């Protein structure tokens, strides 16, 4: 999986790139992340990447030419026959969810364009990008944190990045439910005990308890997820116990 990131501030990515699972996945060659400083693609000698908006108004807008040039350079790095997705991070885009992450994980090459200031020249959106993504209904300073959010969620789905692939299977949203609660040692902390069932060593009962907890949590916190889901027979039986 290759990620190219076009950004005005590549230094934003420093700590994230070099820590924990992302760093290990890069070192193992499971994912490749290349940062492209927008300034390096500015054609003029002052390396201008932004300018005033036509029509007046406050703020600056990222110019189209450096972005087109940077993305066109990234496309030269694509494997023959492979069409990368070109993703613009914008609060006006489709809201990013786990199912979008799953869909993106099937494309081995993603190119991200991080906006700044008032955003990017509209012609980038109209003629270059294939996907517009928002990480939620709020406005951040730049697209760098959203790009990290999307890359991290997608990278975790690449086989071999997070321990065994199985460890992402029961996670929240992975099949339309929230995850069950976790406990670790000690078995009793300040008088609060771990549920007996988890200490029983009875795998089938633990599995059923966890399934019940997933349903219960989803019903309490995100009931709309349950209505969007086709329930299995076991889930219908378990739900009767909760309702």
Q: Report which of 192, 196, 233 is spatially closest to residue 211, judged by C-alpha positions.
A: 233
| Buried-exposed string 168-188: b where 16+ CB fall within 10 A, e elsewhere | beeebbbebbbebeeeeeeee
Nearest to ligand SAM of 147, 177 (CB atom): 147
146 within 8 A of 88, measured Cβ to Cβ = no
Rounded least distance, CB 93 to ligand SAM, Å:
6
Rounded least distance, CB 184 to ligand SAM, Å:
34
Q: What SS3 state is found at 84?
A: coil
Nearest to ligand SAM of 51, 220 (CB atom): 51
Nearest residue to ligand SAM, scored by beta-carbon proximity: 115
Nearest to ligand SAM of 42, 238 (CB atom): 42
In Å, what is the CA distance from 191 to each residue of 72, 126, 200, 201?
61, 60, 19, 22
Rounded least distance, CB 97 to ligand SAM, Å:
13
Nearest to ligand SAM of 119, 209 (CB atom): 119
Rounded least distance, CB 147 to ligand SAM, Å:
8
110 within 8 A of 154, measured Cβ to Cβ = yes
Interface contacts to ligand SAM, rule CB under 6 A = 89-92, 114-116, 118-119, 134-136, 138-143, 146
């Amino acid at each position: 999986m290759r990620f190219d990131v076009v950004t005005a501030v590549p230094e934003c990515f420093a700590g994230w790139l070099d820590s924990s699972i992302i760093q290990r996945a890069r070192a193992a060659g499971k994912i490749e992340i290349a940062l492209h400083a927008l300034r390096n693609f500015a054609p003029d000698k002052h390396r201008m990447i932004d300018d005033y908006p036509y029509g007046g108004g406050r703020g600056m807008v990222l110019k189209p030419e450096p972005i087109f040039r940077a993305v066109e350079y990234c496309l030269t790095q694509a494997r023959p026959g492979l069409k990368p997705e070109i993703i613009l991070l914008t609060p006006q885009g489709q809201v990013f969810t786990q199912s979008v992450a799953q869909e993106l994980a099937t494309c081995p090459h993603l190119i991200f364009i991080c906006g700044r200031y008032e955003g990017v020249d509209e012609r980038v959106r109209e003629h270059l990008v294939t996907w517009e993504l928002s990480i939620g209904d709020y406005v951040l300073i730049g697209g760098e944190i959203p790009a990290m959010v999307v890359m991290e969620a997608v990278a975790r789905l690449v086989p071999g990045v997070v321990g065994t692939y199985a460890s992402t299977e029961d996670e929240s949203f992975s099949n339309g439910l929230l995850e069950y609660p976790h406990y670790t040692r000690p078995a009793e902390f300040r008088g609060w005990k771990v549920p007996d069932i988890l200490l029983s060593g009875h795998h089938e009962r633990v599995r059923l308890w966890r399934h019940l907890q997933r349903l219960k949590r989803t019903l309490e916190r995100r009931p709309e997820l349950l209505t969007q889901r086709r329930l299995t027979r076991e889930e219908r039986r378990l739900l009767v116990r909760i309702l």
